Chains A and B, each alone.
Chain A
Amino acid sequence: MRQITLSTAVNEAIAEEMRRDETIFLIGEDVAEAGTPFKITAGLVEEFGTDRVIDTPISEPGFMGIAVGAAMTGSRPIVDLMFGDFIFLIMDQLCNQAAKTHYMSGGKLNVPLVLRTNMGATRRSAAQHSQSLHAIVAHIPGLKVAMPSSAYEAKGLLKTAIRDNNPVVIFEDKLMYQDKADVPEEEFLIPFGVANVKREGSDITLVGTSSMVQVAEKAAEILAAEGISAEVIDPRTIVPLDMDTINASVRKTSRCIVIDEGHQSFGVTSEIASRLMEQSFYHLDGPVIRMGAMDVPIPFSPALEDITVPTPEGVAETARKLMAGEMYHV
């Protein structure tokens, strides 16, 4: 099968959907000729023109609000938010407007829009360009949240998001834009709320989101060499969240570590760990362990930044302790 980068996969998904449905347009800062700083949308303006690939001023709340209004009136906008950190600028339009319109109108109005943005530290971009803020969005009812872990997921989930009649926020890990994966030439979609068992195992379950799936897979390799069989699960969307697959795995392995790049406190790791405790408590042989980003603003210095996010070695070390029962005494 051919391999393409995550960046190309996103570009293909947008182009295919825009060819299929004329109500779709792309809006954001430098999405047209510049193709975004990451060159993800390069070439789209040449095919679809400036009516459908719309450059905006640096006015995140403004163009997000415009997208919400357009979505309520027959358009299907794809909003490009250059950095995930800027989500704080658009919180009213995303959380008070887009998320609540369908509900507050008693189901009469829809907001079919996609907000594409990014996440991920270790790019030496400091505290305002390195955050992973998906948990904040996932907290608000009415928003769906997808977290692709490779080019394959990026394409399939984005196409599903564009066809969804609700606001969907997609967080792409900005360090993965040039990572390649097998992506079929023929059309495919990945349904929301269906987790992917990336690797089967019997001793411990590693649930990872976005780039933490790769971290979990590398940790599983390390552990395999030591005779520990780890199962790796990628939920792919955190809203909706496929607890059936995660519960089934944990009931089989009886141990679990949840790995996510958002801050550890009040985050995705906490949510999944809590649900496991409520739903699979009597199947567990040890506590469910959370591994998120440290609860500090992301520092600039490489010496500091690299220790703020989970690593394969760190996950493997935690897994060893959990297997040995040492986690009971933390």
Chain B
Amino acid sequence: MTDAKTNTEEYLQMYRQMVRIRSFEDQANQLYLSAKMPGLTHMYSGEEAVAVGICEALKVTDKITSTHRGHGHCVAKGADFKQMFCELLGKEEGYCRGKGGSMHIADQSNGNLGANAIVGGSMGIATGSALSAKRQGSDDVTVCFFGDGATAQGLMYEVMNMAALWSLPVIYACENNGYSEYTRTDEIAAGSITGRAEAFGIEAFKVDGQDVLAVNELAQTLVARCRKGEGPFFIELETYRYHGHHVGDINREYYRPKAEEKTWHEGRDPITNFGKWLTTEGVVDQTDLDEIKAEIKADAAEAVAYALDAKYPDQSEVDMHVFAETP
């Protein structure tokens, strides 16, 4: 593996953040299966190295836009478990006061401009955020997370064209998990995904999205180049979603064989593999990692208990926030 972050604390931060995402998703899945969560949710499990590798290259004031599969981005950009579970359950203390739910979860104070439930819907927002940064003379970078499915939306090509024309500090991060909902990506994507960005003169990269250090090293480089005005950039991250399209997509052998899922679980798990690297390199030993996992698991369980007990918003809030106040 490559060296991006080079000290123990930074390595452990990435490890912790990946474990936090996995623990959050395990709890969210249980909430669904036990019928304690309203609606559906889309699990990020398996893709942790993408969000963490990229967000660990960002400052608090850097922006991201997220997707319907957005819990991972939200955690990776610095969100707190309690407010996230409260949002998932539609409680008043949630980040969006329960008005967004799983598909719109975001900790806005950490630069998360929202999770978007329209596939590809945030590509304009991310590009506009980069336009603001450039006009304001700040060196903030915006990362637009989206899946391989969103590469089929026309908006992507319109905004990449303008981002390239105007040299905007935006990184388009395509999480290619191999499936566009219930359809294999090779059935919906002609030609090359990176080639589409290259057609606009945007430098495009492919990286193993299961290797957090590789993702982080590339992100560090591209974020630094964006800050110097060399953006935009495009990254295709090869990754895998462990669950179905959403938590209810359980019987899915008609589009994805179990043997394929097993191969990714056993050979390419981002947390297991990074853990192995950390112990092999002597950064920490297995006991340290086990302690981290146990501690985070307990944190998540405590946050779930807190959220289950938390109160719903008062019904008077239903027509609050339709319009912002204008002084």
A62 touching B324 in the complex, CB below 8 Å, given contacts A74-B136, A106-B99: no
Which of A106, A109, A142 has the most chain B CB within a 10 Å cutoff?
A106
Tell me whether B158 and A105 are in contact (CB under 8 A). Answer: no
| B96 interfacial by beta-carbon distance below 8 Å | yes
Q: Which residues of A contact B123 (CB under 8 A)?
A: 65
Interface status of B133 (Cβ within 8 A of chain A): yes
Given A61-B154, A165-B326: A97 touches B129 (CB 8 Å cut-off): no
Residues of A63-90 contacting chain B, CB below 8 A: 63-75, 77
Note all chain B residues with C-beta closer than 8 A to A112.
324
B158 touches A51 (CB 8 A): no
Chain A residues, Cβ within 8 Å of B130: 69
Q: How far is the CA of A96 from the CA of B154 in the complex (A)?
A: 16
Q: Which of B128, B129, B133, B162 gathers the greatest number of chain A CB atoms within 10 Å? A: B128
Inter-chain CA distance A62–B106, complex, in Å, is 23
Question: For residue B124, which residues in chain A have a CB less than 8 angstroms away from its CB?
Answer: 61-69, 93, 97
The answer on a CB contact under 8 Å between B131 and A69 is yes
Measured CA separation A61–B124 after assembly (Å): 8
Chain A 226-253: CB-based contact to B (< 8 A → 1; otherwise 0): 0000000000000000000000000000
- Contact status B322-A65, CB under 8 Å: no
A66 touches B128 (CB 8 A): yes
Kindly state the separation between the CA atoms of A61 and B136 in the bound complex, as whole angstroms. 23
Is the C-beta of B275 less than 8 angstroms from some C-beta in chain A? no
Which of B95, B106, B322, B323 counts the most chain A CB atoms within 10 A? B323
Contact A63 B322 (CB under 8 A): no
Q: How far is the CA of A102 from the CA of B324 in the complex (A)?
A: 7
Chain B residues, CB < 8 A from A141: 322
A104 at the interface (CB under 8 A from B): yes
Question: Are the C-beta atoms of B96 and A65 separated by less than 8 Å?
Answer: no
With both beta carbons as reference points, the residue of chain A lying nearest to B324 in the complex is identified as: A165
By the criterion of a CB under 8 Å from any partner CB, how many residues of chain A are at the interface?
Answer: 43
- Check B150 for interface membership: any CB of A closer than 8 A: no
Question: A40-70 interface mask toward B, CB cutoff 8 Å, 1 = contact, 0 = none?
Answer: 0000000000010000110101111111111
B127 x A65 contact (CB < 8 A): yes
Residues in A neighbouring B320, C-beta threshold 8 A: 107
> Which listed residue (B108, B121, B131, B161) contacts A97, Cβ 8 A?
B121
Interface residues of B in 88-110 (CB under 8 A from A): 94-100, 104, 106, 108-109
Partner of A57, one of B116, B125, B158, B322: B158
Tell me whether A306 is interfacial, beta carbon within 8 Å: no
B228 at the interface (CB under 8 A from A): no
Q: Select which of A96, A108, A164, A165 is within 8 A of B108 by beta carbon.
A: A108
B113 contacts A104, CB within 8 Å? no
Quick check: B96 and A106 within 8 Å, CB to CB?
A: yes
Within 133-160 of B, Cβ neighbours of A (below 8 Å) are at 133, 135-136, 142, 154-155, 158-159
In the docked arrangement, what's the CA distance between A67 and B165, Å?
16
Contact of B118 with A by CB under 8 A: yes
B residues 154-174 near A (Cβ < 8 Å) are 154-155, 158-159, 161-162, 165
- Closest residue of B by beta carbon distance from A63: B162
Q: Please state if A166 and B125 are interface contacts (CB–CB under 8 Å).
A: no
In the complex, are the beta carbons of B127 and A69 less than 8 A apart?
A: yes
The verdict on A7 contacting chain B, using a C-beta distance below 8 Å, is: no
Question: Is B321 an interface residue, CB under 8 A from the partner?
Answer: yes
* A75 to B122 CA separation, bound complex (whole angstroms): 17
- Give bound CA distance, A31 to B136, whole Å: 21
CB distance from A51 to the nearest CB of B (A): 6
Give chain A residues whose Cβ lies under 8 Å from the Cβ of B133. Answer: 73
Give min CB distance, A250 to chain B, whole Å: 26
**Closest-CB distance, B131 to chain A (whole angstroms):** 5
B232 on interface, CB distance cutoff 8 Å:
no
By a CB distance below 8 angstroms, the chain A residues around B126 are 69
B321 touches A106 (CB 8 A): yes
Question: Given A61-B154, A74-B132, A107-B97 in contact, is the A66-B114 Cβ separation under 8 Å?
Answer: no
- Assembled-state Cα–Cα distance A94/B327 (Å): 23
Contacts of B161 in A (CB 8 A): 57, 59, 62
* Given contact pairs A61-B158, A73-B133, A102 touches B125 in the complex (Cβ within 8 A): no
- CB pair A96–B127 under 8 Å, yes or no, is no
Contacts A62-B162, A70-B131, A106-B95 given: A163-B125 contact, CB under 8 Å?
no
Check A70–B114 contact: CB distance below 8 A: no
Please indicate the chain A residues that have their CB under 8 angstroms from the CB of B325 in the complex. 165
Q: Kindly state whether residue B245 has any CB partner on chain A within 8 Å.
A: no
B322 lies within 8 A of A68 (CB) = no
B264–chain A nearest beta-carbon distance, Å: 33
Picked from A67, A106, A110, A166, the residue with its CB within 8 Å of the CB of B128 is: A67
**Chain B nearest Cβ from A160, distance in angstroms:** 9
Chain A residues with CB under 8 A of B155: 61-62, 65, 92-93
* 7 A-B residue pairings within 8 Å (CB atoms): A62-B124, A62-B161, A69-B131, A77-B128, A107-B324, A108-B96, A166-B324
The 7 lowest CB-CB distance pairs between A and B, nearest first, are A65-B124, A69-B128, A62-B158, A106-B97, A69-B125, A59-B158, A106-B96
